[in-house]
Structures are given as C-alpha cells and as structure tokens.
Structure 1
Amino acid sequence: MENKNLIQKSIDTVRVLAADAVQKANSGHPGTPMSLAPLGHVLWSQVMHYNPENPDWANRDRFVLSCGHACMLQYSFLHLTGYKITLDDIKNFRQLHSITPGHPEYGMTPGIEVTTGPLGQGFANGVGMGIAQQYMAARYNKKDYSIFDYKIYTICSDGDLMEGVTAEAASLAGHLGLGNLIYFYDSNQITIEGGTDLAFDEDVSKRFESYGWHVQNLPDINDLDALSEAIKNAQQETGKPSLIKVRSHIGYGSPNKENTAEAHGSPLGKDEIRLVKEKFGFDPDKDFDISSEVSNFYLEAGRKSAENEQKWNELYENYKRAYPELATEYENIISGKFSEEWKEKLPVFDDEKPVATRKASGKVLNAIAEYLPQLVGGSADLSPSTNTVLEAFESFSPKNRDGRNFHFGIREHAMGAVLNGMVLSKYLIPYGATFLIFSDYMRPPLRLASIMKIRQIMVFTHDSIGLGEDGTTHQPVEQLIGLRSVPNMTVIRPADANETAHAWHVAIEHTDGPVALALTRQELPVIDQKKFASAENLEKGAYILSDSEGQPDVILMASGSEVQLILKAQEELKKNNISARVVSMPSWNLFDQQNDEYKEKVFPKAIRTRLAVEAGSTIGWMKYTTDGGDVIGIDRFGESAPADELFKEFGFTVENVVKKATALVSGNK
C-alpha cells in the first residue's frame, strides 16, 4: 500500500472507529471525530512529542480537547498509538466503569491531560498549562539545556468560542504573549439546534487578532500539507499564542448526515454507518475494523515519538550534573518532598491586636513564599483587598516569566480555569483570590477541579455580611453551603489569625481536591492560645476550643468570625449556671473525615442540645446540631449598612446567642 493511500486509510479508520463506538454505545457525538480525523492524524503522527509508555513524561506536549464531546477522536488516537487503551475499551465507550467515558476525564484514561466537556473550560485550562511551562522554563532552563520547552495543542469548537470564559482566557493569553499555545478552531458551523448562524456570525479571526493572537485560516481540514505548514508557522511564532482556524464538515463521509445537526450528538444509525463504510472502502458488515497496516503505522508513530523522551532523559542527566541544586529542587517538588522550612516559618500570632483573617492570610503567604518556589498566584484585580501579593517577588509578565504574582484581571471564571491548567503541571501550587460572593462566577472550574481531585487554592475574602456597606450584591449568604456541597472540595473558614495560618498549612499539603479559604474583611480578636485549645486543631475540621468543667448543658458551634460570639456567650451562660462547650468548626469537610471516636469526643451523642452560629445559610448545620438543636444563620439577603449594625440586625450578638441557648436548655430539661 502506497504511503499516501495508507495515510488516507488511517484517517478513515479513525472516522469509522468513532462512528462504530458511538453506535454501539447508542449515544455520543460521531460527527466531530469524523471531521477532525485529519487534524488528529497530523498531530499524533507528525507533530506532538509524547510517550505512550509514560504518559506523564515531564516535557511531553500537552493535548487538550476543549470540545470534550468529541472524545472518540482522542480515544482512537491514544489506542492506535500505543497507550494502554484497548480495543475493548473503545467498544465499552460510555459504559459503566469503562475508562472511555462520554467526555475525557483526567486520572481515568492514560493520556488524558484534563477533564473537559463543559465548553470553554479546556480552552482556558490550556492557557494555565502554557503559563506553567513558561514559569518552569524561566526557573530551570539554562543555555544549552532547554529542559522545559513543550507546547500546548488544543482543539476548540464553535461552541467553545461562544462561551464567555474563552474570551476571558484568550484575552489574558494574548496579553501575556504565550507563544507556546497552538490552538485549532474547528469551524464546522453546526450546533445541536442547527447552523451556528442562528446565534453566531462574528469574525472569530479578527476577534483573536485583536486579542494579540497569531491567526491563520485554512479552508479545508483535509489538506494535510496546509495543516502541517500552518503548524510549523505557529511553532515559529514564539511571541504570540496561535489560532489556526480550520473549516471542517461535521459527519464527514456520511452521505445523508454530513453537515447536519443530526451528526453532532446522536449515533448515525446502522444503515448510515454501512454507507459510510462503503464510501471509505470498509467492509459494511465488520465493526471496529483496524487493518494491520493501519495499526502498525500508528504504533510506529507512537514508538518514534517516544524517542523524544529518550533524548530528553539524556539531556536531563547532563543537566543534573551541571545544575545539581536546581535538579534536586525540581525533583523534590514534583515528588511532593517539600522542605520543612516553610512549616517552621508559619507565623504564630501572640498577643496581637485584632486582625482580619484576610490580612493574617497575607502575612502567612509572605512568611512562607521564599521557601516554596512552586507557590504562585494572584487575584481577579483585588490583590490589595484580598492581601495576596507576594511582596518579595515580581509579577509574571511577557518580559518576566519567573514572576510569582499573577494579574488575572477582572476575569474570575477564567482565573479558576487557568489555575486548573497550572495545577496540572504537577509542579505549581497556584492560588487565586476574589471576594467570596464572586465564587459564583467560578463554579464550573471549581467543580472540575473537584472532579479531578487537583489542588487549586482559592482565597475567598469578604466572607459574610461583615462586608458591610456594599450591600446585598456583595454579601455572601448561600455561597458557603454551595461550596461545601461540592464533593472533594475542602472549605475552611478560620476563626482568627492562628487558625488562618493552619488553614494554609492544610491547603498546601492537601492533594485530593481544591481548597477554599473563606476569610473576613473585618478585624477579629486573636484567640488566646494559652487559655484555649491550640489552633493547630483546625486540621481536624472541628475541635473543642473551650469546654465546661463538667458535662455541658449545651454545645455551641461556629465557624469564622462567629466563634468570637460563642466564646463570649459561654461566659454569659456560665453566670446563669448553664455550662456550655464551645466548638470551633472551620471545616465540615475535614471534620467528616475524622474517625467515629473523635467525632463522638467533640459531639457526644448524649448531648443533643446544640446551637450552631454562622453568618450564612442555615442549610446543612442540622447535620451537626441534631434534632435537639437550632441554628442562628441568614436565610435571606443582607442589607447595606456598617458591619456592626448588620450583625446586630441579623441576631449575631452575644445576647441573642445566650437567649437561644437558654431556651434550648430549658426545653430539654
């Protein structure tokens, strides 16, 4: 078989394979994999550096399928080039417990770099990956030792580019001049409802040029030579991110469904697939047909690409001899072996004046940053308010790739998605910051971080009606319970400066999902560590901060700023011969992970008289107060007024806590 014919046969094999897999699953998206097969062929057989035997090779090129519904394209090439994805896995597409789910999932399938599916997220994740590569290159690359020079190849769709997060991320990438991004815009002009002209007729190329991207337009995705040339041009453009717009035809090769919405999100049907196979020269009665010639062709492409890692390993060994300290630092970081110095530098707040936990957080960050070069971050234009500037370091910019302060602009959604991409470098520990109310703008990337169980750290300040005069639009009420409800997310709302220091300890060492720190705008007294239990107990999620002499009549529990209230209420209750236990409960998530013995110690089943206090939604607290308890919270929106007046208006006073607790005790006697 001539090489040209073999290449065409290989491309058509991917098209048929995708159609067969979707048909067998009786659900999925066959059209886009069929149309994008030529692009996939060029990337996996000619362009990208990867190793199927070691999908985590540090200097591999990253591939992101932002239009995750087209995942049969990716699964097909991963299988064909030698990743540990069998043909049976392809046949089990979208089935229970298979490693080929309906959208790509990080950590489940070898070769999948990021979980995608919600449109626009992968686009922004790729920007974060590009930032990580540039930062690592600036720190570790030396003359004659280009240790980190990988690129990020991303496919995005018409739908991706309609999503607002894409505009945010593209603008940021253009501003930063991320020349390591090579994105392919698949312009097939079809959505589920019909043609894209129903709602989308802008000139995407001009839009991206205005963002500062290098843009190329290709009229036919089937022109392999033009694709290869465009990619070479993009690789040579190192000062700008690249967008290659390619015109494709969804469902390519389907006689009756090509260029139709039907080909987008439904199986083609058995009769139509027979016609597709006949058109491409396949046996219409044979499913999942991969010839030995095609199989050998792609396996050889995978083996050839793996040679890039062998060359890199040799380069890295020489690098280690030339720069042993940097190599040791890098290896320690990626293996999770942090030095102990940063822990020793965690500040202890003794006899301090009242301090807002957002300000305490800033002090913690600046105390430990020197000892954690992988700790980088910034805010969505709010660093003076969120106290997230690393004062000893410069900003990451087009001219300064080793800066550690990031300016995401007023782009909360993109910030969250970009942070996810940065985390996936498996090197950086990135944090982002904004007001807690704006976590609503970040829910999609926070949810995806939780699905992937990756360590993104969010600093959410101005965490309650304590925000004050800005009023209802800026006062979070339902946000805490919303974040707590997300599986794998750890929410921590510290009660004072010392709990804040330990919250950062948890956040940096936590590796099983994102961590959200909810911090105050208003100043809080520093709890006396000599008089009360150590703030180190924060790491258990909830702990007895102050106990009664005998068995308590009531358990008072709170998080954040309201812990101060229940401590004072304990003193007042004692004057009335009511003994109270005070439990600081900064993190439900951490507490729920403790063993039953510890949970019983903090909340004995025999003591059912309990009162929770938190300046947020009451939903969820009944899990801990039981049927004998109550909650002082907020189940309506706030108002615009000074914080002190608001706390009084909504019942967050010592008097109200004492009144509620007394009533509970009386009702249970």
Structure 2
Amino acid sequence: MPFQPQEVDKNAVATIRMLAADVAAKAKSGHPGAPMGLAPLAHLLWSRFLLCDPKDSHWLNRDRFVLSNGHACILQYTMLYLLGYKVTLDDLKQFRQLNSLTPGHPEANHTDGVEVTTGPLGQGFANSVGLAIAAKNAAAEFNRDGFELFNNYTYVFLGDGCMQEGVACEAASLAGHLRLNNLIAFYDDNKISIDGDVSCSFTEDVTARFKAYEWNVITVGDGDKDFNDIYDAIVKAKECKDKPTLISIRTTIGFGSLHQGTHSTHGSPLKEDDIRQLKEKFGFNPDDKFIVPQEVIEAYKGYAKRGSDAHAEWNKLYAAYGEKYPKEKAELERRAAQKLPEGWEKCLPSFTPEDKPAASRKLSEGVLTKLSAELPELLGGSADLTGSNLTRWSDATDFQPPATHLGDWSGRYIRYGVREHAMGAIMNGLHAYGLHIPTGGTFLNFVSYALGAVRLSALSQFRVIWVATHDSIGLGEDGPTHQPIETAAALRSLPNLAFWRPADGNEVSAAYKVAIESLKTPSVLALTRQNLPQLEGSSIEKAALGGYVVIEESNADVTLVSTGSEVAICRDAIKLLKEKGIKARLVSLPCFHVFDKQSLDYRLKVLPDGHPILSVEAYSTYGWGRYAHVHHGINRFGVSAPYDDAYKFFDMTDSAIADKAVNVVNHFKKLGTSLESPLGLEAKFLAAN
C-alpha cells in the first residue's frame, strides 16, 4: 500500500526534533544531532511499521528495535515516551541524571522497551543479528500450519561509527550468509563523526560492501523530508524474502539547527539562541520547553493501539494454538518464563577417582551432549573451532538457511566462523530474545577478542555461556600468542561475570549447573586440552559453591589453593610435603565470583586463619591477593613447547610447588606471628568502615 500522509506527520517529526534539543539542553549533555536527523525515519517506522505493545513490552512476537548508535538514545527514549511505554516526560527531563530511567546510553533491564544495552559502537548491530537468529529459530520450532506465532522483524539503527567497528563487519558478514530476511538495518549516512566530516577517515562505499555481504541494499537520498521514499524503502525491505536488508538513508545531522550538517551538533547540546530559532522555524513557541502538541499525543495513542490490537489478535491465535498443540504451548511458556525443566540437573555426569583422566574440554562435550537432550532452549555454536573445543553434540543440526542444504532454521548449532567478537555480541541478542540459552566456543585467549561483548553481557545481566578451551600453557606448542596468561585476571575483574576453571569432571558439571541456573549472570568456562585426573574429595555439590576443601588436614602448616589443571599437581605436591613432615591442606577454587557469594563463615572454613595460604595457578598472580598470602604463578608470557615441558619451565610441577611451600612455611614460622586469612582481614576492614 502506498504511503498515506497525515496532517500530523510533519508536526510529529518536528516534535521529536524539539524534544531532542530540549532534553540535551536541560541535561547540559548528550547528542541531539542524530535524533534530529533521524526523526522522520523514527516517526515513520514507529507509526506505520513497528508492531509492539507498550502495555506489554515483553510480548513474545513483538518487533524488536535496536539503537546501535546508542549515543542517539534521546531518540529512543522519546519514541518510547510517545508510544506509551513506562517512560514519562519527566523521565526525559531527567536525562543522564543519577538513577534516572533515561541514562546516557540505552541499558537493557533498566528502561522499559529497551531490548539490549548499546553505546559501544557496533555492538547493537551485532545484537540485532542475534535477535533475528533467535526469531528464525523460534519460528521453526514452534510455528505450525495456520499458526504463525513468530513472524516478527528486528529493526536496527546504526551510524558511521558502527560501520567502522570490526564487530559490526563480522556480524554483517554472518547475517548475509544466514539470509536473515527478518533483519532490517537503517544506516544513518550523515557523513559526520566526532572528529568532523567522515571523509577524514572513512571513504569506502558502504552499500557496495553490504552487497558483497549478500545483503539487499536500498538507498534513500533524502531522509530529511522525503517521507514517501523512506516509507517505500521499508515496504521493499519487508518484501525481500532471502536476504537481510540495509537501507542507507542520507540525513542531515542536527537538521534545523544553525549548525546542521556539522559535528558541533553531534556530542553537545544546542545553544539557547539556536534552540529558539529552531522552534520558530518549525512553528513552536520559542519560550516553551518540552512541548508535545495534543494532536501528536493522540496520534501516538492510535499507533500504540495498532500494536495492542495486533497483540490481541496474536493472543487469540495463541489460545487456539494451545488447544491444538498443548505440549508445544507449555514448552514455550516454560522457556519464556525462564524456568528450567524439572529435574534437568540429574543429567549432569558425576565422577569418582576410578574414572579415567580426561581433558576438561572432553568432559564439557559430554555435558553438552546430555544438556542438549534436556534443554531444548540450548543454542550452541563455535567460532570455527568445533573440532578443537568440542562444543557440538553428536546429533546436532546446524542453524542454516534451508536452501543451502547445510542445515535448517530449527538447527541448534551456529557456525560463527572466525568471528569471536560478533559471536559474543550475537549471543547477547540470542539471550535478549527471551527463549534461548546461548553457548559459544573458542580458545580462552580469544575471548579477549570479544571482551567488549562479554562486558555488555555482564552489564546487561544476560545468561551467556562461553566454552573457552585451551585454557593455559597446557595448550603447548602454539606458544605465547595462544597461551592466556592474563585473560583470567581480566575476566575475573568484571562485575557480574562468573569465570570457571574446573579441575575435574565433577567441577565441569558444577560449572554448567551454576551457569545455567544463573539467570542474570554470564559465565566463561576455561577448559583444558590436556587430560586431568578425577579428584578424590570433589563433587558437583561442593564445586557448585565456587570453592571447597579437597584435602583436609588438622593443624595444617600450609594451605595450597589452586584451580584447573594445577589442582592435581598440588595434590601430588602435598604427598611430597608429607614426606618432609609438613602438613598441607588443598583447596580448589574454580570460581571466585561464586565463592565470594558464600557466607564468610564458610569461606573462612575453606581458607582459614592460622597458617599461610599459597596460591598456585599457571596464570598471572594478579587478583590472588584476596585469597592467599603468597603466590606461585606466571607473570610473563608463555613459551612454545610441548605442554609438559612448558609446565617444567615455569616450575608448575609437584616438586617445585612443594619446595615453594616449604619456603613459605619456614618464612612465616620465623616471623612468629599468627596469620589471619586474607578473607578475614578484608571482612574486618569492611565491618570497621
């Protein structure tokens, strides 16, 4: 149907532009230029196309909107307000203020209607690819003839900055390969970045690049005023059935400002005289601020009703679906409520010392195989290392366009290719859709490539699980470029991230158990290439506490605390210490984050007062000061050698650890003072302050 203009359209666009100017001016901070330039597109998209219900922002089949150029968030908050989400005019007036619902960039789980956390450029675009994948997968799993429960679109705005970030390039390449025709991206081609005209750094033909990515590309020459062209472009995008679409739309940043088209409207509020002339130009009283004409309010009530009516029709379809497919409806409701199947954890394998040694990556493969049968919401994948990180269960089907004959839309294993950063950001989108538990595999060292996405998982409280194999110098010959000496410290430093380094099969099962049950915390599981023995004294229940005593000893002289492959080495070192007349305890600390959540009484039983605590780990010692008095680690980059030679070179052997422990014990005996656990010292400080 051709575009049907309404009298209110121009006034609505002007209102959006005026609000952008007023919001940034009141906050004395913000980016008014992009919202002013994108106002026509935003109005047409939200008034004519976007299907959502402001009264139920979690409606399963809603269209998803992502603002990848998150600095333009005044635009998103304005649209949420106009359409009737839980964002008020007063919230707009509190933009960028402490504890407001309108922070400086959009944050998921904070502002009603915001799907994903954006701001670091390119992340939101990659999130949108994940949202589109999740929608395709949900449709393939739950839709039936006559019951198209899932047919929503994902719309994403992005700018020149997003286009220059590598994560967006990775995600665009994968989206084109996957033929995600339910994804429509709008490139705000305003030619301006913070440094000025983008010609100083960015001269490529973006549309040609996206055509090479196998995207459908449409160009809008005048995004400032040509409503017909914008509307027609969206219609054509929705008609494309075999590709994602990029609509490149030429806009003028800060449209209407005295400085329109320049970088001065990008990251700073407009000056008062500029705002006054802007309002006069568009027929507003220059003395009024935060004015929304009644006709615009009424129009947006109508647009909201269009969405709520669509939701009501969907509810009728859903009810009829439940009558014909009660099992599928129950499964869908369970997943939407983020409830796990009753007794799912019984599938987790447990081990005894009689079980043969195995690499923790191999143990992980066994767990994933069990979980895939119990948790249909598990959506796995790997960054081109499937054969190395063992993330694909034996009967998995790949998520692929059916036309390629490589898999189908119902497939639960994603071939991410060599795209770690995009994989992390796409997994955030998969979680945000609301029906999946995403896992993604790579080498631990290359999680560093994706740290921007991992950080946003933690900030957004998204349950994303990284299967990070080849976890240390134990990977051997690949050498220091692949050996993640410092990566654990970086990941452990992130708030709300669980970094696991399991020491045996029980600890692998525990890591998956806690990761899956942690609805608001992402996890990274660091797994070995080399075989590990099954430990006496370990169990899933103990390891699920994040730290526990493996070997207890009354009146101990020293406690060895370790993680992963070094726990078994410490166990052997304790045997040597016993021969020297030294009593030693052994503690495994697979996850600092989870251990820190236990009671202080429990933690002090694990790492008690009274004797020195020696940490042992084939990583940087950074961060171990909270748990141990002395550290045995690697504070330099690794070496290229067979893994057992690398361990010997870095004194990660039972004899070297025993010798270090002897020196530690002797040193503190000479001091003649009673030692407090670092945990106790910290607790006393916190209590006193």
State the TM bucket, normalised to the shorter chain.
Answer: over 0.9
Report the alpha carbon displacement of residue 439 of structure 1 after superposing the two structures with TM. Answer: 1.0
What is residue 39 of structure 2 aligned with on the other side? Answer: 37
Determine the C-alpha separation between the residues in 1 that align with 2:371 and 2:78. Answer: 45
CA 1:551/1:535 → structure 2, altered by over 3 Å: closer, same or farther?
Answer: farther
Determine the C-alpha separation between the residues in 1 that align with 2:560 and 2:506. Answer: 20
Report the alpha carbon displacement of residue 496 of structure 1 after superposing the two structures with TM. Answer: 1.0
Report the alpha carbon displacement of residue 348 of structure 1 after superposing the two structures with TM. Answer: 2.2
What is residue 435 of structure 1 aligned with on the other side? Answer: 443
What is residue 495 of structure 1 aligned with on the other side? Answer: 503
Q: 2:245 aligns with which of 238, 242, 246?
A: 242
Pairing 1:578–2:582 present: yes
Aligned residue identity for 1:483: L
Determine the C-alpha separation between the residues in 2 that align with 1:155 and 1:637. Answer: 41
Aligned residue identity for 2:399: F
What is residue 321 of structure 1 aligned with on the other side? Answer: 323
Pairing 1:65–2:70 present: no
Does the Cα contact within 8 Å between 1:390 and 1:404 map onto a contact in 2?
A: no
Determine the C-alpha separation between the residues in 2 that align with 1:536 and 1:641. Answer: 36
Determine the C-alpha separation between the residues in 2 that align with 1:563 and 1:184. Answer: 52
Q: 1:542 aligns with which of 538, 542, 547?
A: 547
Secondary structure of 2:666's partner? Answer: helix
Does the Cα contact within 8 Å between 1:395 and 1:403 map onto a contact in 2?
A: yes
Determine the C-alpha separation between the residues in 2 that align with 1:513 and 1:500. Answer: 17
Aligned residue identity for 1:346: L
For residues 298-322 of structure 1, the C-alpha deviation after alignment (integer angstroms, 9 at most, x for no partner) is 1221122211110100000000001
What is residue 233 of structure 2 aligned with on the other side? Answer: 230
Aligned residue identity for 2:632: I
What TM-score, normalized to structure 1? 0.97
Unaligned runs of 5+ in 1: none
Query: What does 1:76-155 correspond to in 2, within 5 Å?
Result: 76-155=78-157
What is residue 259 of structure 1 aligned with on the other side? Answer: 261
Does the Cα contact within 8 Å between 2:551 and 2:585 map onto a contact in 1?
A: yes
Secondary structure of 1:473's partner? Answer: coil
Q: 1:562 aligns with which of 533, 543, 566?
A: 566
What is residue 175 of structure 1 aligned with on the other side? Answer: 177
Does the Cα contact within 8 Å between 2:63 and 2:154 map onto a contact in 1?
A: yes
Determine the C-alpha separation between the residues in 2 that align with 1:366 and 1:543. Answer: 27
Aligned residue identity for 2:657: V
Aligned residues: 659
Pairing 1:462–2:470 present: yes
RMSD after superposition:
1.2
Secondary structure of 1:472's partner? Answer: coil
Report the alpha carbon displacement of residue 533 of structure 1 after superposing the two structures with TM. Answer: 4.0
Identical columns (%)? 47
What is residue 417 of structure 2 aligned with on the other side? Answer: 409
For residues 221-274 of structure 1, the C-alpha deviation after alignment (integer angstroms, 9 at most, x for no partner) is 1211111111111111121001111100000011x2100010111111111111
Determine the C-alpha separation between the residues in 1 that align with 2:298 and 2:396. Answer: 51
Determine the C-alpha separation between the residues in 2 that align with 1:571 and 1:126. Answer: 54
For residues 499-550 of structure 1, the C-alpha deviation after alignment (integer angstroms, 9 at most, x for no partner) is 111111111111122100000011111113xxx24242111111011101x2
Pairing 1:163–2:159 present: no
What is residue 624 of structure 2 aligned with on the other side? Answer: 621
Does the Cα contact within 8 Å between 1:556 and 1:566 map onto a contact in 2?
A: yes
What is residue 494 of structure 2 aligned with on the other side? Answer: 486
Determine the C-alpha separation between the residues in 2 that align with 1:68 and 1:326. Answer: 37
For residues 2-41 of structure 1, the C-alpha deviation after alignment (integer angstroms, 9 at most, x for no partner) is 9744211111001000110001111110000001011111
For residues 589-611 of structure 1, the C-alpha deviation after alignment (integer angstroms, 9 at most, x for no partner) is 0000011111121122x224010
Report the alpha carbon displacement of residue 341 of structure 1 after superposing the two structures with TM. Answer: 4.7
Secondary structure of 2:266's partner? Answer: helix
Query: What does 1:372-387 correspond to in 2, within 5 Å?
Result: 372-387=375-390
Determine the C-alpha separation between the residues in 2 that align with 1:349 and 1:180. Answer: 45
Determine the C-alpha separation between the residues in 2 that align with 1:420 and 1:541. Answer: 25
Secondary structure of 1:555's partner? Answer: strand
What is residue 515 of structure 1 aligned with on the other side? Answer: 523
Secondary structure of 1:265's partner? Answer: coil
What is residue 362 of structure 1 aligned with on the other side? Answer: 365
Does the Cα contact within 8 Å between 1:341 and 1:371 map onto a contact in 2?
A: no
For residues 442-485 of structure 1, the C-alpha deviation after alignment (integer angstroms, 9 at most, x for no partner) is 00100000100100000111110111111110111000000000
Aligned residue identity for 1:39: L
Determine the C-alpha separation between the residues in 2 that align with 1:461 and 1:23. Answer: 49
Does the Cα contact within 8 Å between 1:137 and 1:146 map onto a contact in 2?
A: yes
Unaligned runs of 5+ in 2: 403-407, 670-689
Determine the C-alpha separation between the residues in 1 that align with 2:668 and 2:120. Answer: 50
Does the Cα contact within 8 Å between 1:555 and 1:609 map onto a contact in 2?
A: yes
Does the Cα contact within 8 Å between 1:533 and 1:546 map onto a contact in 2?
A: no
Determine the C-alpha separation between the residues in 2 that align with 1:663 and 1:109. Answer: 55
Aligned residue identity for 1:261: H
Does the Cα contact within 8 Å between 2:51 and 2:306 map onto a contact in 1?
A: no
Does the Cα contact within 8 Å between 1:555 and 1:607 map onto a contact in 2?
A: no
Determine the C-alpha separation between the residues in 1 that align with 2:53 and 2:336. Answer: 19
Pairing 1:551–2:555 present: yes
Determine the C-alpha separation between the residues in 2 that align with 1:116 and 1:105. Answer: 7
Report the alpha carbon displacement of residue 200 of structure 1 after superposing the two structures with TM. Answer: 1.0
Q: 1:276 aligns with which of 278, 289, 308?
A: 278
Secondary structure of 1:185's partner? Answer: strand
